[in-house]
Amino acid sequence: CLLPLEHGPCRAMIPRYGYNPNTNQCEEFKYGGCSGNANNFENLQKCQQICS
């Protein structure tokens, strides 16, 4: 949850959620579909459950 939001090098633009420690909230971002990191959740509820 403390990793930066990582879009990755691909261009799929998949809506995902990641935790932003600066705002203490899960935020939507566009995931490219490859690479990235573990701060990447399919929905807001999963992000909040794990990171909040």
Domain boundaries, the chain: 14-51
Which architecture characterizes domain 14-51 according to CATH?
A: Irregular (4.10)
What is the model's pLDDT at position 6? 97
12-46 burial by CB neighbour count: b if 16+ within 10 A, else e? eeeebbbbbeeeeebeebebbeeebeebbbeeeee
What is the average per-residue pLDDT within 24-48?
A: 98
What is the model's pLDDT at position 4? 96
Question: Is residue 52 scored above 90 in pLDDT?
Answer: no
DSSP conformation class of 24:
T
Question: Is residue 49 scored above 90 in pLDDT?
Answer: yes
Question: Is residue 33 scored above 90 in pLDDT?
Answer: yes
Question: Is residue 24 scored above 90 in pLDDT?
Answer: yes
